[in-house]
């Protein structure tokens, strides 16, 4: 469109032209300028002692400057500002990619050392040096997370149903507001809450898996409420009205019509909520503790969990330091795989269980 | 129409029947909602009840022997220092990322890029701690040295430079990475909701893309960005494991970001000391947790208030 306008300008009034506005830098020229800037940065970095970091930093800064100056000279101030912002915004995205790539690479590189069968089949019972594994910790994480899900989903789902189907007025507003506020509770405070609660109930120095489950539930419930609420709101009102018109009571309408329609979204929301808490460390550190043997009874003393296991392997290595560090990084790798798998499952649920839209 | 409307008074036997199933279900739903409010109140109540022994104890019984205020004071400073540093780094970056994903990235891959940024939020905080300790801290040591040499007239860079990189500066940067996805997710949402008519009008008047964003998108998204930043701040204030792993904390109150002696943060101090704490030590830690709870609650309520106020506004568009 702009090209058409320009050519019209050129043909009709060739004498009184804004010279600058007509000249444009082509895309290859811009890419070339940017690369020239990067090369300049590399040269500068080579002068001051070559390093990858300084090359990238100098390169990006200089390339941005080169593109800005060139555009300013050829196309004018406004276009130059536009190009400058484009460069900055793209760089911002690039900067955010650095930690993600670096983190995944580091965890893979260091974690694959012990990513073997023994890691998944052995506990740390009577292991002081090499060998051992996280069998007990993985199972402990599964038990505690399952228990937390068992507590959170009924409460969270019922609250979402209240907010969408029944709620009105001040109570609804209060619940919505405080559920939002609750999403911001620091995980360590949730852990302290569970600790204080169980200390009052069972006396000092109590450590149980269920304490961790309660702490995780405090973190999980608001996430479940928010996601379920969003999904339930999407259920078309016509379905409810059709059900009422047939004389179905409200609660059966919710159970038999609304929930089945929303089941895909609910599954996705719950899975994402599980993914959010499965890697939580701090609340489990202060409520569940850690043991070296396998304890799967959440009501009987300390349990091992994967994040706490990883933390202690890293921060309190024994004499065979490298073996401890290897186990720590492998535990971190397993944790990331677990979280990513839950995220993928959540996407699959929403794809395969979505309500059929055929009419 | 009029014929069906004729019986204006419904016969008494046709009144809505309140079935027991309905009553139980509605009661259960309402009860769950109220239960959540009770849990939040319970968090405050149980923390207070366990913190009272520390609040009323004589100063010399508190760990470190100088009273509760001088125990928690440096921790509050450390908490705020790390979180504010993270916020200063993360907010401009997040706005840039959000603009890139909403208005600059090629349409076809923009959604994927948003998802990739969201992946940053999925990584457990303990893994961030591992990464910060093993990769970022050593990588930042040269910068620490450079800052101590050239910027030591600023109190934040007074030095001497840490040789391990386990400083408040590193912690602030790791926290910035952790809150990036939170702020940019909200910024992305509000930017993408900027009224299309305003944007197209700006472009039609000959604005460049950046001018269009300056005129139509940023004013509209400003409060959303502020709210997102507040939520990110709340998250950074309460972050525990990454700080506990990276920071070599425990020194008194100092704003020096690059030396080996840093104030610890409330959350990481709890995580580090709680497993071995006994007696009044536990109560003191819970009292510090109460302070953290109050700070994050205030920040989050402010953020939500801003978001809600904005929601009222945007209905007009």
pLDDT in tens, A115-164: 888 889 888 888 888 888 899 999 999 999 999 999 999 999 999 999 99
Residue ranges of A 314-343 with Cβ closer than 8 A to chain B: 314-315, 328-329, 332, 335-336, 339-340, 343
Do A216 and A292 fall into the same domain?
yes
Query: Per the domain annotation, does B124 fall within a domain?
Result: yes
Query: Per the domain annotation, does B5 fall within a domain?
Result: no
Closest partner CB to A186 (pick from B97, B238, B308)? B238
pLDDT of residue B176: 96
Q: What's the whole-number mean pLDDT along residues A261-267?
A: 91
| Structural domain count, chain B | 1
C-beta atoms of B126 and A289 within 8 A? no
Residues from chain A contacting residue B95 (CB–CB below 8 Å): 92
Residue whose token pair is 């799967």:
A296
Query: Per the domain annotation, does A158 fall within a domain?
Result: yes
Q: Please give the distance of CA B32 from its chain centroid, rounded to a whole number.
A: 26
- B231 within 8 A of B302, measured Cβ to Cβ: no
Whether B81 and chain A come into contact, CB under 8 Å, resolves to no
DSSP H or E run through A266: helix A259-278
pLDDT digits (tens, 9 = 90+) for B194-237: 889 999 999 999 999 999 999 999 988 888 898 889 889 999 99
Q: What's the whole-number mean pLDDT along residues A56-80?
A: 88
Query: Per the domain annotation, does B95 fall within a domain?
Result: yes
Residues from chain B contacting residue A182 (CB–CB below 8 Å): 36, 39-40
Query: Per the domain annotation, does B75 fall within a domain?
Result: yes
Per-residue exposure over B291-312, b if at least 16 CB sit within 10 Å of its own CB, e if not: bbbebbbebbbbbbebbeebee
pLDDT digits (tens, 9 = 90+) for A187-197: 999 999 999 99
Query: Per the domain annotation, does B179 fall within a domain?
Result: yes
The domain that holds B77 is classified in CATH as: 1.10.3720.10
Closest to A42 measured CA to CA, from A60, A53, A55, A61: A55
Query: Per the domain annotation, does A359 fall within a domain?
Result: no
CA distance A313 to chain B (A): 11
* pLDDT cut 90: percent of chain A above it: 51
Do A64 and A158 fall into the same domain?
no
Closest partner CB to A162 (pick from B32, B184, B238)? B32
- Helix, coil or strand: residue A129: coil
CB atoms within 10 A of CB A19: 7
Residues from chain B contacting residue A163 (CB–CB below 8 Å): 33
- Pick from A113, A138, A170: which residue ends a domain? A113
Do A210 and A286 fall into the same domain?
yes
Query: Per the domain annotation, does A47 fall within a domain?
Result: yes
Q: What's the whole-number mean pLDDT along residues B303-310?
A: 77
Residue ranges of A 79-98 with Cβ closer than 8 A to chain B: 79, 81-82, 84-86, 88-93, 95-97
pLDDT of residue B315: 40
Query: Per the domain annotation, does B16 fall within a domain?
Result: no
Closest partner CB to B241 (pick from A97, A106, A282)? A282
Closest to B241 measured CA to CA, from A135, A305, A298, A271: A305
Do A165 and A108 fall into the same domain?
no
3-state SS record for A120-164 = HHCCCCCCCCCCCCCHHHHHHHHHHHHHHHHHHHHHHHHHHHHHH
Structure tokens belonging to residue B33: 């909602």
> Alpha helices of B158-259 — where are they, by DSSP H?
168-192, 196-204, 209-212, 218-238, 241-246
Task: Give A315's Cβ-side CA count (13 Å radius).
Answer: 21
Whether B299 and chain A come into contact, CB under 8 Å, resolves to yes
Whether B86 and chain A come into contact, CB under 8 Å, resolves to no
pLDDT of residue A212: 94
Structure tokens belonging to residue B67: 């009273």
Residue B265, pLDDT above cutoff 70: yes
Q: Best interface-test mutation with A: which of B28, B124, B165 has the largest number of A CBs within 10 A? A: B124
Closest to A181 measured CA to CA, from B305, B236, B239, B44: B305
pLDDT of residue B302: 87
pLDDT of residue A352: 83
Closest to B183 measured CA to CA, from B112, B113, B121, B265: B121
Higher pLDDT, A72 or B6: A72
Q: How confident is the model at residue B317 (pLDDT cuts 50, 70, 90)?
A: very low
- B209 within 8 A of B285, measured Cβ to Cβ: no
Closest to A80 measured CA to CA, from A35, A41, A37, A24: A24
pLDDT digits (tens, 9 = 90+) for B25-34: 999 999 999 9
Do A108 and A131 fall into the same domain?
no
* CA distance linking residue B62 with residue A102, whole number of Å: 42
pLDDT digits (tens, 9 = 90+) for B56-104: 888 777 877 778 888 888 999 999 999 999 999 999 999 999 999 999 9
Residues from chain A contacting residue B43 (CB–CB below 8 Å): 185, 189-190, 193, 218
Do A143 and A188 fall into the same domain?
yes
Whether A212 and chain B come into contact, CB under 8 Å, resolves to no
Query: Per the domain annotation, does A62 fall within a domain?
Result: yes
pLDDT digits (tens, 9 = 90+) for A35-65: 888 888 888 888 877 777 778 888 888 898 9
pLDDT digits (tens, 9 = 90+) for B271-289: 999 888 888 888 999 999 9
Do A108 and A162 fall into the same domain?
no
CB atoms within 10 A of CB A305: 30
Whether B145 and chain A come into contact, CB under 8 Å, resolves to no
CA distance B68 to chain A (A): 18
Size of interface A-B (CB pairs under 8 A): 271
Residue ranges of A 270-309 with Cβ closer than 8 A to chain B: 275, 278-282, 285-286, 289, 307
- Chain A: residue nearest B294 by CA? A185
Q: Please give the distance of CA A315 from its chain centroid, rounded to a whole number.
A: 25
Q: What's the whole-number mean pLDDT along residues B13-32?
A: 81
pLDDT of residue B268: 92
Average pLDDT of the residues of chain A: 87
Residues from chain B contacting residue A341 (CB–CB below 8 Å): none
Do A55 and A133 fall into the same domain?
no
- Pick from A71, A92, A113: which residue ends a domain? A113
pLDDT of residue B2: 45
pLDDT digits (tens, 9 = 90+) for A167-203: 888 999 999 989 988 888 999 999 999 999 998 888 8
| Structural domain count, chain A | 2
pLDDT of residue B12: 55
Give the pTM: 0.88
Whether B96 and chain A come into contact, CB under 8 Å, resolves to yes
Q: What is the ipTM of this complex?
A: 0.86
Do A135 and A109 fall into the same domain?
no
Residue B60 DSSP one-character state: G
pLDDT of residue A17: 52
Query: Per the domain annotation, does B97 fall within a domain?
Result: yes
For residue A141, CA distances in Å to A147, A297, A306, A324, A335 come to 10, 12, 6, 19, 10
Total length of chain A: 359
* CA distance linking residue B302 with residue A100, whole number of Å: 30
C-beta atoms of B122 and A335 within 8 A? no
Do A23 and A147 fall into the same domain?
no
Query: Per the domain annotation, does B12 fall within a domain?
Result: no
Residue ranges of A 32-61 with Cβ closer than 8 A to chain B: 53
CA distance B153 to chain A (A): 24
Do A101 and A123 fall into the same domain?
no
Structure tokens belonging to residue A301: 């003393």
CB atoms within 10 A of CB A315: 14
- Chain A: residue nearest B16 by CA? A249
- A247 within 8 A of B16, measured Cβ to Cβ: no
CB atoms within 10 A of CB A171: 16
Whether A9 and chain B come into contact, CB under 8 Å, resolves to no
- Pick from A113, A147, A181: which residue ends a domain? A113
Closest to B136 measured CA to CA, from B291, B267, B35, B243: B243
- B240 within 8 A of B255, measured Cβ to Cβ: no
pLDDT of residue A1: 44
* CA distance linking residue B129 with residue B148, whole number of Å: 25
* CA distance linking residue B94 with residue A89, whole number of Å: 10
Residues from chain A contacting residue B14 (CB–CB below 8 Å): none
Do A152 and A289 fall into the same domain?
yes
Residue whose token pair is 């800052």:
B147
Average pLDDT of the residues of chain B: 86
Residue A240, pLDDT above cutoff 70: yes
Q: Is the dihedral of CA B47, B53, B57, B60 positive or negative?
A: negative
Residues from chain B contacting residue A281 (CB–CB below 8 Å): 124-126, 240-241
Closest partner CB to B238 (pick from A84, A189, A249)? A189
Q: What's the whole-number mean pLDDT along residues A318-331?
A: 90
- B85 within 8 A of B172, measured Cβ to Cβ: yes
Range of the domain at A177: 119-352
Residue B314, pLDDT above cutoff 60: no
- Chain A: residue nearest B45 by CA? A193
Query: Per the domain annotation, does A123 fall within a domain?
Result: yes
C-beta atoms of A89 and B100 within 8 A? yes
- B91 within 8 A of B183, measured Cβ to Cβ: yes
Whether B243 and chain A come into contact, CB under 8 Å, resolves to no
Range of the domain at B223: 23-314
- A179 within 8 A of A225, measured Cβ to Cβ: yes
Whether B283 and chain A come into contact, CB under 8 Å, resolves to no
Residues 6+ apart with CB under 8 A from B242: B125, B126, B128, B129, B132, B171, B174, B175, B178
Min mean pLDDT across A239-243, B125-129, B310-314 is at: B310-314
Closest partner CB to A189 (pick from B21, B32, B43)? B43
Residues from chain B contacting residue A177 (CB–CB below 8 Å): 304, 308
- Helix, coil or strand: residue B206: coil
- Chain B: residue nearest A196 by CA? B46
- B162 within 8 A of B133, measured Cβ to Cβ: no
């Amino acid at each position: 469109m702009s090209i058409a306008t320009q050519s019209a300008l050129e043909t009709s009034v060739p004498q009184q032209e804004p010279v600058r506005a007509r000249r444009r830098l082509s895309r290859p020229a811009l890419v070339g300028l940017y690369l020239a800037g990067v090369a300049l940065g590399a040269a500068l970095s080579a002068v001051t002692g070559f390093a990858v970091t300084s090359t990238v930093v100098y390169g990006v800064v200089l390339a941005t400057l080169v593109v800005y100056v060139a555009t300013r000279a050829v196309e004018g101030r406004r276009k130059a500002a536009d190009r400058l912002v484009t460069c900055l915004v793209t760089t911002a995205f690039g900067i955010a990619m650095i930690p993600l790539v670096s983190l995944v690479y580091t965890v893979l590189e260091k974690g694959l050392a012990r990513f073997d069968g023994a890691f998944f089949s052995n506990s740390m019972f009577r292991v002081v040096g090499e060998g051992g594994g996280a069998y007990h910790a993985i199972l402990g994480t599964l038990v505690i997370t399952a228990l937390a899900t068992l507590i959170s989903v009924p409460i969270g789902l019922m609250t979402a149903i209240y907010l969408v189907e029944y709620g009105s007025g001040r109570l609804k507003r209060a619940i919505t507001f405080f559920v939002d506020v609750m999403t911001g509770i620091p995980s360590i405070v949730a852990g302290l809450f569970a600790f204080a609660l169980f200390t009052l109930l069972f006396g000092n120095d109590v450590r149980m898996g269920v304490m961790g489950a309660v702490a995780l539930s405090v973190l999980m419930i608001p996430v479940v409420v928010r996601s379920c609420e969003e999904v339930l709101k999407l259920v078309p009102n016509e379905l409810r009205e059709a059900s009422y018109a047939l004389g179905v009571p409200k609660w059966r309408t919710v159970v038999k019509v609304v929930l089945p329609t929303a089941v895909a979204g609910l599954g996705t929301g719950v899975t994402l909520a599980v993914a959010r808490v499965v890697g939580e460390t701090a609340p489990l550190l202060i409520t569940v503790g850690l043991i070296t043997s396998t304890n799967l009874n959440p009501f009987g003393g300390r349990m091992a969990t994967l994040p706490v296991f990883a933390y202690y392997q890293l921060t309190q290595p024994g004499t065979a330091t490298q073996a401890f560090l290897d186990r720590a990084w492998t535990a971190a790798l397993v944790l990331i795989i677990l979280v990513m798998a839950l995220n993928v499952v959540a996407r699959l649920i929403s794809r395969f269980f979505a309500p059929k839209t055929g009419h | 129409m009029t014929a069906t409307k004729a019986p204006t008074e419904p016969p008494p036997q046709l009144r809505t029947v309140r079935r027991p199933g309905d009553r139980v279900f509605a009661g259960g739903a309402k009860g769950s909602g109220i239960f959540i409010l009770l849990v939040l109140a319970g968090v405050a109540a149980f923390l207070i009840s366990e913190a009272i022994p520390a609040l009323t104890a004589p100063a010399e019984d508190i760990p470190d022997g100088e009273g509760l205020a001088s125990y928690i004071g440096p921790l509050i400073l450390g908490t705020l220092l790390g979180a504010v540093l993270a916020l200063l780094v993360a907010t401009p970056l997040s706005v840039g990322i959000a603009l890139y994903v909403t208005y600059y990235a090629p349409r076809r891959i923009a959604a994927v890029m948003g998802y990739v940024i969201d992946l940053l939020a999925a990584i457990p905080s303990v893994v961030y701690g591992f990464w910060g300790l093993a990769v970022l801290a050593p990588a930042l040591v040269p910068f620490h040295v450079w800052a101590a040499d050239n910027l030591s007239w600023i109190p934040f860079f007074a030095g001497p430079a840490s040789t391990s990189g386990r400083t408040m500066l590193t912690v602030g940067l790791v926290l910035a990475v952790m809150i990036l996805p939170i702020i940019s997710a909200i910024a992305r949402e509000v930017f993408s909701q900027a009224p299309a008519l305003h944007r197209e009008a700006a472009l039609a008047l000959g604005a460049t893309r950046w001018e269009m964003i300056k005129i139509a998108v940023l004013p509209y998204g400003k409060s959303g960005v502020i709210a997102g930043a507040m939520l990110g701040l709340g998250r950074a204030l309460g972050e525990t494991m990454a700080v506990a792993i990276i920071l070599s904390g425990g020194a008194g109150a100092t704003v020096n970001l690059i030396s080996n002696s840093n104030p610890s943060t409330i959350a990481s101090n709890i995580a580090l000391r709680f497993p071995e704490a006994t007696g009044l030590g536990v109560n003191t830690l819970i009292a510090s947790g109460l302070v953290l709870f109050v700070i994050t609650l205030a920040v989050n309520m402010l953020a939500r208030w801003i978001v809600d106020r904005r929601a009222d506004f945007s209905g007009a568009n």
